[in-house]
Chain A
Amino acid sequence: MNDETHSDLRRRLAPGPTPPPPADLLARLKRDIPSHLAAAPVAAVEPGPSRQSLWAIAASLILLVNLAYFGPRFLMRDYRFSTASEAESAQPAVEPASFPDGFGGSRTSFPADPPHSAPPFPPAMAPPPPPPSIAVKNTNPSRSDDAGSTASNLSDAAAEEQQIATTESDAALTIGDEAPSFDLGSAADPNVRAQEASAKSAGPTAEVRPRLSTAQAATRPSAGDARAEAITITASAPAVPSPPVAPGLPPPDEEASPIVRPQRSGFAVPARGFVDASRFPTSRFGLSSNAGSFRILEEALRSGHLPDRDSIRVEELINHFDFGDAAPQSGSDFAIAIDGGTAPNLTRNAIHLVRIGVRARESKSPGNNLSRDGRVVAKDARGQVTFNPDVVAQYRLVGYEGREIQQAGVTIYSGHAVSALYELRLKRAPQSMNPNASVGKILLRYRDADGLGEKLVARSIELSSVAPAWRDSSPALRLAWLIAQLGEAVKRSGSQRLLPTSELALQIDALRRSFPGDRAVEDLAQMAERIAGFRP
């Protein structure tokens, strides 16, 4: 073998300059791009949406007929009761709830947070009437009769929504949203628990047949109960205006009440879980993390079946992964990473994403975080985001289904990292808004390891950080959202199934290149393929 000869041959094989392609070639090629590139896989996104919609329509019709028949009877029977309760309750429920600080009265106003005086009721509902007195007096809402009344109001609200021929999903969304829990801090804990107990009992019992009159339902929104409770609770507290916190209680299980909101594309999109930012601008997110769910899922898949859906928590799946957020700079206890983008979506209603990564500083002495040597970085730590209702229409904290986020705050050890993933529906397309507009503000409140003094870490989420398209989003964000989608596919929960699991598996597989050597991502890619087999 003669290298000389070979190199000569190679020179001759190397082609000379190629003229540029014909001028019209690109236009011809573009014309040839099919208009529905994604038609095949997307058809499989929601195999049975039409059937679900049909059920929803059938249920609505039955309800309507029932209402027309029984409505007048209820109206006559309960008229006296409803007027009595209206007379008793004269408090307007417009002012935003205030919350006392949880740290012995040392209050902090929310930095640079504009006062929110958003209307407490969605425009779709009747104007806010005075809340029923039952709720105002409700200092012990665990009493079953009170909870029952609330439930009745809720179901009446639902019935009313039906009557005015809105979609069933609207009514259900209302129920789901009517369980606000306010960030009252540890000082108000018993009340908070009590309030949430009532809110919780309202959920399951909402199926109770309407007992009160539709007339009463028409004059009061169900939110009045919860709102009035909040006022009662906070009346004695120092009044620091603060936006109401979003429902700490996630909506009840989706399958228990299959509610769908048909969209333009024809997909059935369960509407649970999204919260109106104008009503509840502030959302708490969890700071503790546990990776148990990932192992449970892995074990189950290895033995050839899907795990019990209740054993899997989406937030735990997300927090199994290291998203590579930077550690805090020296001198800081926490670093907050913001990572945003857009979910892949074929509908016009873009879902924007933001992952909030909180990482505690590393301990100087390496050791097990949970052992006695593990250094406590913060006590009583709590995280929250206050969304700007001018920019964000609705948001959803991914995960935390059927689970309350700890009121009292958690202790955080060195090196601890946790992520909260939000899905956002913006009011307008990001291109039509100022890129520097604030989507929201993140606030981390905690006390030192010695338990003295409150500290705050705040960070603003700018619109430009949630604007990137899916393909321009960071691998970490894409990974987080794909995990969430996969987890929700396993649980059959969540808000929207935007991609079929087979596509999720493909995308996760492609992401492996961005996380070389990351065992968890490798495992996930395999798991995703198996899940796609179970839940296409």
Chain B
Amino acid sequence: MIVTHGSPALATDGFNPMTARSFDNERALLDAARLGDREAAEQLLEESYRGVYAALFRLCGGNADLAGDLTQDSFQKAWQSIHRFDGRSKFSTWLYRIAYTTFLNHVRTPPRTVEWDEQMNGARDPRPAVEETLAARQGGDELRVAVLRLPEDLRFTITAHFWAELSINEIAEIENVTSVAIRKRLRKAYLLLESIGKRDPS
């Protein structure tokens, strides 16, 4: 989790669902859920949905209804694919990946929808210009728009780190790169965002 940057507090009385569970317990719940234990699935859900919602809320620029719908979509996809979750990363990290892709799919025009698991497998979507679509369709403050205009790898890293409150190591795990690479991405993103801010002081 973010320890160096002062983790932003959620409105849910300081409860950070992404960190609430130790890895082992989460893993045990997940194993049970995969074995058909509905109670375990519900517990997993209860412990993770706030984090997913919060991340989507921020991605959507504060649109609560949209964030709720996308949370629902994300979990539907998660249950469908729970057997493909390989346990390399935390469940919440994996969930964020799904939520993020769900969000991207939503803001794209219909012909450009992407199967989320293609992205899960690390295949970068070759189709261009997500950022233009995003920026065009998403209003809101300029910093958020600037983030959404970043190249895909930087965009994912920034949103995961700040808006989903994933730690650098967790992002590194799910991106299958080293944490040094994630730090580099962050620095590069900061520079880009600053340059965007200077170039486009709207």
- A positions within 8 Å CB-CB of B: 1, 5-6, 9-10, 12-22, 25-26, 28-30, 32-42, 344, 346, 469-472, 475, 499, 503, 506-507, 509-510, 513-514
Contacts and interface: CB of A to CB of B under 8 A. Distances in A.
A354 to B, nearest CB: 19
A39 B194 CA distance: 50
Contact of B162 (A15, A36, A471, A475): A15
Interface stretch (B46-54, B103-111, B120-128, B130-138): B46-54
B162 to A, nearest CB: 4
Contacts of A470: 28, 31-32, 35
A15 B33 contact: no
A471 B57 contact: no
B18 interface: no
Interface of B: 5-12, 23-25, 27-29, 31-38, 40-42, 45-46, 49-50, 53-54, 57-58, 64-65, 67-68, 71-72, 75-76, 79-80, 82-83, 87, 143, 147, 158, 162-163, 187, 190-191, 193-194
Contacts of B143: 12-13
A19 B57 contact: yes
B44 to A, nearest CB: 9
B72 A25 contact: yes
B83 A40 contact: yes
B11 A17 contact: yes
Given A15-B163, A21-B49, A29-B49, A507 B5 contact: no
A344 B35 contact: yes
Can you list the 3 inter-chain pairs with the closest CB atoms, starting with the nearest?
A: A38-B36, A471-B28, A471-B32
A29 B35 contact: no
B34 A38 contact: yes
Contact of A9 (B35, B54, B193): B193
Contact of B46 (A26, A32, A36, A510): A26
B89 to A, nearest CB: 12
B58 A507 contact: no
Contacts of A21: 49-50, 53, 67-68, 71
Interface of A is mostly: helix
B192 to A, nearest CB: 10
Given A13-B143, A15-B162, A513 B10 contact: no
B82 A37 contact: yes
A25 B49 CA distance: 9
A30 B10 contact: no
Contact of B79 (A19, A26, A34, A346): A34
Nearest to B42: A30
Contacts of B162: 10, 13-15
A471 B34 CA distance: 11
B45 A513 contact: no
Contacts of A41: 34, 83
Contacts of A19: 11, 57, 64
Nearest to A7: B5
Given A18-B10, A18-B53, 13 more contacts: A1-B187, A9-B194, A14-B162, A22-B68, A28-B72, A29-B45, A29-B75, A32-B76, A40-B83, A42-B36, A469-B32, A509-B87, A510-B87
Contacts of A514: 24
